[in-house]
Chains A and B, each alone.
Chain A
Amino acid sequence: MKNLLSAERMARLKWQLLDLVYVLISIILALVVGGIFLLILGSNPIEAYHIMFQKAFVSFGAILRRMTIYLLSGLAVAIPVKSGMFNMGGEGQIAAGAMTAAMLGSALALPAGIHPVVCMLGAILVGALLSSISALMKLKFGSSEVVTGIMLNYVVMYILQYLSMYPFRGSPNSPQTAEILETAKIPRLAEGSQASYGLFIALGCCLLFAFIMNRTRFGLELKSAGFNRLAASYQGVRVGVMSVLSMAIGGGLAAMAGAVEVMGGRYLYLDAYFTNYGFDGIAVAYMARNNPLGVIVTAFFLSTLKVGAVALDRQAGVSVYFAIALQGIIIALLVSPYLVESVFNRIRQKRLAKRKEPAIKTAST
């Protein structure tokens, strides 16, 4: 029995590794395609990539700082997807979480240990409420959570803009809040480093949700609701409740991303600073195939790409937009219905067929 179990575990591990291999192949393919673009643009791709990754790793702290946000904003998409919901409101939730943390961080007077916790909880609450609006509207009126999510992003963004420009403006020069108090700050990993201990909070969330999804009743019911609502309801799963809860979790996680950046990075809310992190989160989740542990890999990759692109812009004269294009290519390769996987399988099948008997064509359906 014990042997059997370990064999099972091995088989599962093999599948997970294979998944990772597909992701890596997609990334390499994307770099190749990106290289072709670079050639067309008139720069040497090898040199450009070299600069990109070298410079990125010089500012490793910047990568980790960005990765912290991506970990949480990626999870914020990956968890609701498991229950069949798409959290498109990440942009708004991140910004709202950031604003909440900035407001609580500057207005409350609390001891150092408790202050960040209070700010974080406040942000989670606001984010969860925001995303629940979309989920509830879907449940009650059948409106698409994608559409309401996008629309809510605008609502939130303009409200925050107003708040940072008028009532909570902390600087005469720009639309930003006052800096948060020292007690509310999450310490940096090292003196002068960009990254903070928020990274470990984010990593902890990944581990926590990997556990929840795979080893708890709640995770099981959430997944079952996502895969097959009917069969799940036949087993007594409250499918509607599950979808609202998963969205609330997603919103809370997204808000955490904003709060962590405020408390461990920027120390204040600056209007329009928190843009695109939500959408990048979708890419992170998608590349990781919504696996909470995979998010760790893809968040790191994407932040390296982004940080490197900034360096590329300065050093090699290739636009930042190139990194965005490269990201697009990678995602296209990853999602175009398992393109790499099918190519991989076909190669393997051909090899098998050759070994067996000369050229038997397998019917493709």
Chain B
Amino acid sequence: MPETMISMKDVTIRFGSLTANDKVSLEVKEGEIMSLLGENGAGKSTLMKILYGLYTRESGEIVIDGNVMPKRYAPADAIKLGVSMVPQHFMLIDSFTVAENIVLGEEQQISHLMMSKEKACAKVDSLCEQFGIPLSPKQIVGELPMGTKQKVEILKALYRGTKVLILDEPTTVLTPQEVDELFVLLRSLQRKGITIIIITHKLNEVLDISDRVTVMRLGKNMEVLETSHTNAQELSRIMVGKEVSNVYVEQGEDEAKQQNAVFRLVNLHTKREGERCNLQGINLDLFPGKVVGVAGIDGNGQTDLVEVLTGTKALSKGEIRTGDQCILANTVEEMRTLGIGIIPEDRTQQGLVLDLTVRDNILLGYKSDTRFEKHGIINLQSANKYIGDLIQKYDIRPARGNAVCRFISGGNQQKVVLARELERTGLKAVVASQPVRGLDVGAIQFTHSTLLKLRSEGMAILLISSDLDEIKTMSDYIAIIRNGRIVAFKKASDFSKDEIGLYMGGAKSEEVTA
């Protein structure tokens, strides 16, 4: 019987009126891989932040490796006891080398007075060998792919002599191949006696990697299960509280439709600004009643693509064709009149002005709409009525037009964006970028079914997502974007997941022309 490494008992924490963790217990044995499963907002990250010393609990006991933890302790104390955390967004300094990043803050392990780069490299090399991680210490971190950056983070923890490794949503930024590599690495760490806790909301990962799983819902823990004795259905039922029906697109019907694209994006180019990937010749067609899914690792031109279709980023070359029109200079108003609705990837930064009310945010999208304004003066009565209707139709809560968007939940914020963008008159196409990122399961289902309903109404939909499962389940066609180009375009059913991964990672490519 292995020893108990982490024991958290009846841990409670509140943020204002929200009880983020309500008497949550967690027990992790030495050398096991434990998954912490739950929807967004279930309290997984909060629980781990308490364990790591970032938050102070209100009540409950915590024992780390036999040490009873005081009520207040700092991450430094947790680190001393061998707990470390690999954050979802990596905390690395891009301009430093791998070795520099790893020893940063713990230089005294190598030398007390002067930082010796050679010694640091040697130390990192020996660590890499010890744990079987292929890294070259002299590489600049900024140039590494996400999967490798994650390994740097893990090695950073190992360098600090970690015994318990907490990974917060480790797979969201990885390609399927990188996920496999990560899991191989985690298993080898497990064999070296390291205890691993993975925070995740993805069922298949839980089943793939972990020995046991603790399921959380709404700040409480529901059940602790042996992974070998459970399946995806059971886990999702516990996690969500009800059976989840997957919305699957019926693929392969009515091939004739694809002949007449509503929008044709031809050879789109944009200027490169800073680090961000620009468009280097995008060719893509949007068909009425079809979902075209754009898969790709974040930062391969998706943002520019959305901004071009929004009209906020100018085309440097190429054109957007629709009907007999041909647009070279894309402005926001132009794209609006063409009938394109935009669901941007970051609803808090691009989608909404958070400090304005629901009503004002919706009104903002209806410039010079004579229903709501005359000579620039807003007709409150008709605006309030219209917005009241939208609130009802999209079930936005609280059901008040004057609720400030900052203070409503993420799911409801997204509903405000949907209501504004999808209720435009003359809507022909919808561009949805990461439409469900950070939403809970209920809001995800709402968003997806709303998009699919539009699809059945004959709307053309461009779905841009880095979540392959989403792309696979939602799309009729899949296009893969890499370095500002579409490197593959096929019917969704003709792609295997591995193949998508290979294209995303650049191991495979075919130039697609319109």
Contact = CB atoms under 8 A, between A and B. Distances in A.
A224 to B, nearest CB: 5
B13 interface: yes
B312 A227 contact: no
B310 A363 contact: no
B367 A231 contact: no
Contacts of A145: none
Contacts, number: 86
Given A216-B376, A224-B356, A362-B16, A234 B58 contact: no
Question: What is the size category of the interface that chain A forms with chain B?
Answer: 20 to 34
B400 A236 contact: no
A365 B15 contact: yes
Contact of A8 (B365, B378, B400): B400
A154 interface: no
A12 interface: yes
Interface of B: 13-16, 55-56, 58, 310-312, 331-333, 336, 342, 344, 349-356, 360, 363-365, 367-368, 373, 376-378, 380, 384-385, 388, 400-402
Given A233-B332, A363-B55, A227 B367 contact: no
Interface in A225-256: 227-228, 230-237
B377 A215 contact: yes
A316 interface: no
A187 B336 CA distance: 52
A217 interface: yes
Contacts of A365: 15, 55
A220 interface: yes
B342 A234 contact: yes
B350 A230 contact: yes
Interface string A1-12: 100010010011
Given A224-B364, A363-B13, A231 B353 contact: yes
Contacts of B311: 236
A237 B364 contact: yes
Contacts of A215: 377-378, 380
Interface in A1-41: 1, 5, 8, 11-12
A227 B406 CA distance: 11
Contact of B377 (A216, A221, A234): A216
A237 B353 CA distance: 12
Given A8-B400, A220-B364, A234 B378 contact: no
Contacts of A237: 364
Contacts of B356: 220, 223-224, 227
Given A223-B356, A235-B364, A363-B56, 20 more contacts: A8-B401, A12-B402, A215-B380, A217-B368, A217-B376, A220-B364, A221-B364, A228-B352, A231-B349, A231-B352, A231-B353, A232-B353, A233-B312, A234-B351, A235-B365, A235-B367, A236-B332, A236-B333, A360-B14, A365-B15
